[in-house]
Structure 1
């Protein structure tokens, strides 16, 4: 199983990042954390790189269900979504939630992971129908 799902968008990074936040919200995810990797690498290491954000997306009902199965699942939460520049395009990648089942070996997490994956896939799919 691939550990991520992705889409490539023909639009500027800033516009894509805003659209990703909106698409996640539409699927019931809030962005709990936002890490600007580009700024961090520049400030801490003096290194230059493409625009790169890591969004920590959480769907509270799904997180609650997962925690009800396994309290340690918080080690794998929230769902990370990466938005990164790639030339004139922007790549959006999300961690495949079904990896939780593989990592933990807890089959009881499968329905939660399936729903999270469906919602993330719907969010990514919605981005491809938007115009630049």
Structure 2
């Protein structure tokens, strides 16, 4: 699998896109468990400046439990990482594609969870952009 993310670019600044992504994740049934400010971390640890970018660790406990029940190794891929990155006048939103889990586990339960999570996260991107995203539409 070469394409392992769902992505969209929205024509709004980062400061406006980030809270909207959090809101839409909630609407899709996901909570944000972790937030890593990648820009601040790289500045503090390496002294380098990069555009604002956060990694949101999104989780829907019901889906996580079903996936873990099917294959406990799936824990290494949880939570779902959602990147929100400043690209000047636009903001890029990139999500680890849950379908990629099926590359690592052949369990039918994992495939069902991956399809459900992908549908929800793809819908979140559609709501964010107001259109069906090509990457999110790819199965």
TM over 0.5: yes
3-state SS in 1 of match to 2:83:
strand
Cα deviations across residues 39-67 of structure 1 (Å, max 9, x unaligned)?
00111111000011000000111001001
Gaps of 5+ in 1: none
**C-alpha displacement of 1:10:** 0.7
Gapped runs of 5+ residues in structure 2?
132-139
Distance 2:55 2:107 in 1: 27
1:51 maps to which residue?
52
Structure 1's consecutive aligned runs of 4 or more residues displaced over 3 angstroms after TM superposition are: none
Residue in structure 2 matched with residue 15 of structure 1 by the alignment: 16
- Please give the alpha-carbon distance, in whole angstroms, between the structure 1 residues aligned to 2:77 and 2:34: 14
The aligned residue for residue 69 of structure 2 is 68
RMSD, aligned α-carbons:
1.3
Greater Cα shift, 100-109 or 60-69: 100-109
User: What is the alpha-carbon distance in structure 1 between the residues aligned to residue 55 and residue 119 of structure 2?
Assistant: 20
1:89 paired with 2:81, answer no
Counterpart in the other structure of 1:3:
4
Shift of 1:106: 2.6
TM-score when scaled to structure 2?
0.90
